[in-house]
Amino acid sequence: MVESHDIVANDRDDLSEDTEEMEETPIKLTFNIIFVTAEAAPYSKTGGLGDVCGSLPMALAARGHRVMVVSPRYLNGGPSDEKYANAVDLDVRATVHCFGDAQEVAFYHEYRAGVDWVFVDHSSYCRPGTPYGDIYGAFGDNQFRFTLLSHAACEAPLVLPLGGFTYGEKCLFLANDWHAALVPLLLAAKYRPYGVYKDARSIVAIHNIAHQGVEPAVTYNNLGLPPQWYGAVEWIFPTWARAHALDTGETVNVLKGAIAVADRILTVSQGYSWEITTPEGGYGLHELLSSRQSVLNGITNGIDVNDWNPSTDEHIASHYSINDLSGKVQCKTDLQKELGLPIRPDCPLIGFIGRLDYQKGVDIILSAIPELMQNDVQVVMLGSGEKQYEDWMRHTENLFKDKFRAWVGFNVPVSHRITAGCDILLMPSRFEPCGLNQLYAMRYGTIPIVHSTGGLRDTVKDFNPYAQEGNGEGTGWTFSPLTSEKLLDTLKLAIGTYTEHKSSWEGLMKRGMGRDYSWENAAVQYEQVFTWAFIDPPYVR
């Protein structure tokens, strides 16, 4: 096993003997990497965070790094518990001091695809619902559950003998979103002052800055940080944002703390890494992020190209590829049949997949539907979230029985079938750190129509039929401003291209399908950022 940060010269015994050859052999640094995350597919997934933390670790492991992913062992008594069936109890217990008490956690482990998948076991992760909540809303003890995760993750490299050896102190923590944001703070406040993790580094990865882990200031003592570190997480809401006259606006914000003390900051596209430094995109953290711009980078997500592959996908009716598109129409008619829509191969089928909330711009689709339904199109929406949108989807289905289908819920196989069966995928997101559905869509020859924001703008190239000597360029349509009128205009353009210009449409499909979406490219950029993290000294107060 290669020690972290050792220099490996591709199995060469004597580096000094052949300097000419040595110049050609790239010297590769390898790292001991600890992902800390609230979700990792296929074990747990409610959205894109699960996808990324389920696939990026494997890409990094394949490049020679030692990679551990630490996430909770969620058990809800249903069939999804089976996903943890291969994870065994390591028989190691850690005691976590937080919330005024000592909590014992256990660690389960599965070694798969070169990655150590470590699941933190505690009774608070065992209950019906999703990782974050149930039908009554978010769990009231999420601060406790993710404080526990962060503490346990900091112990994991020290105490777990995986494959016979611990990861040790010289490692790199990649703390994902607010759920893991306590990790950089714990390294700086709890470990480094006592000489532990002096050579470790931490990176906070922001997948969605709208969620920051904000709780009342009185909960500070629960976090297990020393009293003198309060200022690092202190967060005071401006007067206008306070609930009432007696509200002092004082809270703790763990993501803010992580942004302040992490050795580096990453987000999931370059566009978004700039947007979060602006008042419009920073959700209050833009000034802090601007002050740390020198350690802030954006790396566009890749996707799991094995899981999302139209020529092998186990969830879809027929397989197809860039060289033989014929199976796609079968996926479409099969989807129409499954949804009870009229089976019409030539009718443009438009899809939406995602959380039903403000971020995803569902209200824009809602306002566009009455006019869109005047056209000869079919629409299918898959999603769950805010009740008002779920109710609206069901209601719209009743109004337009032959044209509109609502699939309220979370269903991964159906999401694959919609991605394969539709002609067009809509993503009118208000903001989108990266977005994965447009990447899946392009890989499946489904043309994305997206709001020109964040990662959507970075990844969807606008269609221009006249470029390349009339052969066209681009992989979809981006639109701005975010209004239902603009969405409708863009849809009309797309539908016109679909019905009137079949060869242009095929060109769009093939350019999207031909792109490289694998994690390889992103993994190389992650390595660069890891290298930079170790060049600078760690954060010390």
User: Min. distance of Cβ 450 from ligand ADQ in angstroms?
Assistant: 11
Nearest-angstrom CA–CA distance, 480 and 180? 34
Name the residue among 109, 122, 8, 125 with its Cα closest to residue 68.
Answer: 109
Q: Which of 274, 358, 410, 532 binds ligand ADQ (CB under 6 A)?
A: 410
Residue 281: CB atoms within 10 Å:
21
Q: Which of 22, 29, 47, 211 binds ligand ADQ (CB under 6 A)?
A: 47
Chain position carrying tokens 């809270």:
251
Overall residue count recorded for the chain in this entry = 541
Specify the residue, 362 or 491, whose C-beta has the smaller distance to ligand ADQ.
362
User: Min. distance of Cβ 416 from ligand ADQ in angstroms?
Assistant: 8
Which amino acid makes up residue 423?
A: D
* Beta carbons within 8 Å of 3's beta carbon, 6+ residues apart: 170
Specify the residue, 233 or 436, whose C-beta has the smaller distance to ligand ADQ.
436
Q: Which of 4, 36, 40, 48 binds ligand ADQ (CB under 6 A)?
A: 48
Q: Which of 436, 447, 488, 533 binds ligand ADQ (CB under 6 A)?
A: 436
Piece of 2-10, 42-50, 365-373, 527-535 that binds ligand ADQ (CB under 6 A):
42-50
Nearest-angstrom CA–CA distance, 250 and 263? 26
Phi-psi region of 468 (alpha: psi -120 to 50; beta: other; left: phi over 0): left
User: Min. distance of Cβ 263 from ligand ADQ in angstroms?
Assistant: 20
* Beta carbons within 8 Å of 101's beta carbon, 6+ residues apart: none
Piece of 59-67, 154-162, 379-387, 508-516 that binds ligand ADQ (CB under 6 A):
379-387
End-to-end Cα spacing for the chain: 34
Piece of 108-116, 134-142, 333-341, 435-443 that binds ligand ADQ (CB under 6 A):
435-443
Nearest-angstrom CA–CA distance, 520 and 342? 41
406 binds ligand ADQ (CB under 6 A): no
Nearest-angstrom CA–CA distance, 513 and 439? 9
Piece of 5-13, 388-396, 406-414, 470-478 that binds ligand ADQ (CB under 6 A):
406-414
Q: Which two tokens stand for residue 258?
A: 């992580």
Q: Which of 54, 455, 472, 474 binds ligand ADQ (CB under 6 A)?
A: 455
Number of residues engaging ligand ADQ in binding (CB under 6 A) = 26
* Residues 266-325 close enough to bind ligand ADQ by CB under 6 A: 268, 301
Strands of 191-298, DSSP E: 201-206, 214-216, 234-236, 250-253, 264-267, 296-298
**Residue closest to ligand ADQ (Cβ):** 47
The DSSP output letter for 324 is B
Residues contributing to the site for ligand ADQ (CB under 6 A): 47-49, 51-52, 207-208, 268, 301, 353-355, 382-384, 410-412, 415, 432-437, 455
